[in-house]
Chain A
Amino acid sequence: MLRFIGRRLLQMIPILLVVAVIIFTLMELVPGDPVRIMLGDFATEAQVEEERERLGLNRPFLERFWEFIKGAVQLDFGVSYITKTSVSDELIERFPRTLKLALLSICVSALFGIPIGILCAIKANKLPDRIALVLTLLCNSMPSFWLALLLVLLFSVNLNWLPSGGIGGAQYYVLPVISSSIGSIAGIARQTRASMLEVIRADYVTTAKSKGLSQKAVILKHALGNALIPIITVIGGQFSFLMGGTTIVESVYSFPGLGLYIISGINNRDYPIVRGGVLYIAFTFSFIMLLIDIIYAFVDPRIRSQYSGKKKKKSKEAEAAA
Chain B
Amino acid sequence: MAGNSENLLSVRDLKVEYSSGGKIISAVNGVAFDLPKGGALGLVGETGAGKTTIAKAIMQILPDHATRSVTGEIIFQDRDLLKTPEEELQKIRGGDISMVFQDPMTALNPIMTVGDQIAEGIHLHQGKTKTEARQEAIRMLETVGISADRVDEYPYQFSGGMKQRVVIAIALACAPQLLIADEPTTALDVTIQAQVLDLIRNLKESQDTSLILITHDLGVVAEICDHVAVVYAGEIVERGTLEEIFDNPTHPYTVGLFGAIPELHKKVDRLSPIAGLPPDPTELPQGCYFAPRCPRATKACTEKHPSIKHLGGTHYALCDQI
Contacts and interface: CB of A to CB of B under 8 A. Distances in A.
- Say if the two chains contact directly (CB < 8 Å): yes
Nearest to B92: A212
Given A201-B63, A302-B156, A211 B106 contact: no
B110 A302 contact: yes
A229 to B, nearest CB: 9
Interface in A167-213: 201-204, 206-213
B109 A222 contact: yes
B111 A226 contact: yes
A103 interface: no
B90 interface: yes
Contacts of A301: 110-111, 154, 156
A124 B65 CA distance: 8
A299 interface: yes
A284 interface: no
Contacts of A299: 111
B115 interface: no
A44 interface: no
A210 B90 contact: no
Interface in B110-139: 110-112, 117, 120-121, 124-125
Contacts of B111: 225-226, 299-301
A302 B63 contact: no
B106 A203 contact: yes
Contacts of A158: none
A305 B113 CA distance: 14
B262 to A, nearest CB: 32
Contact of A203 (B89, B101, B117): B101
A204 B106 contact: yes
Contacts, number: 78
A78 B121 CA distance: 64
A249 B63 CA distance: 44
Given A204-B109, A300-B110, A301-B156, A213 B167 contact: no
Contacts of A222: 109, 112
A25 interface: no
B156 A207 contact: no
A207 B92 contact: no
Given A203-B106, A299-B111, A302-B110, A211 B93 contact: yes
A125 interface: yes
B124 A210 contact: no
Nearest to A303: B111
A214 interface: yes
Interface in B48-103: 56, 59, 61, 63, 65, 86-87, 89-95, 98-99, 101, 103
Contact of A211 (B63, B94, B103, B154): B94
Contacts of A302: 110, 154, 156
B107 interface: yes
B312 to A, nearest CB: 37
B124 to A, nearest CB: 6
A202 B86 CA distance: 21
Residue of B56, B107, B124, B154 with most chain A CB atoms under a 10 A cut-off: B107
Interface string A205-248: 01111111111000000100110000000000000000000000
B170 interface: yes
A211 B120 contact: yes
Interface in B127-173: 154, 156, 167, 170
Contact of A212 (B65, B106, B125): B125
B16 interface: no
A213 B90 contact: yes
Nearest to A204: B109
B108 interface: yes
A166 to B, nearest CB: 46
Given A301-B156, A302-B156, A208 B109 contact: yes
A125 B121 contact: no
B140 to A, nearest CB: 13
A202 B109 CA distance: 9
A21 B89 CA distance: 65
A110 to B, nearest CB: 19
Nearest to B106: A203
Given A203-B107, A299-B111, A210 B63 contact: no
Nearest to A124: B65
Contact of A204 (B89, B90, B93, B107): B107
Contacts of B154: 301-302
A26 B286 CA distance: 76
Contact of A202 (B56, B90, B106, B167): B106
B103 A203 contact: yes
A79 to B, nearest CB: 52
B239 to A, nearest CB: 25
A203 B117 CA distance: 14
A305 B154 CA distance: 10
A210 B63 CA distance: 12
B93 A209 contact: yes
Contacts of B87: 214
Contacts of B121: 211-212
B107 A212 contact: no
Nearest to A197: B65
A280 B133 CA distance: 51
B170 A211 contact: yes
A212 B90 contact: yes
A125 B65 contact: yes
Contacts of A300: 110-111
Nearest to A215: B86
11 contacts: A124-B65, A125-B65, A201-B63, A209-B61, A211-B94, A212-B94, A212-B95, A226-B109, A299-B111, A300-B111, A301-B111
Given A213-B124, A226-B110, 8 more contacts: A124-B65, A125-B65, A203-B101, A206-B61, A206-B101, A207-B109, A212-B90, A212-B92
A-B CB proximity, top 3 nearest: A212-B94, A212-B93, A211-B94
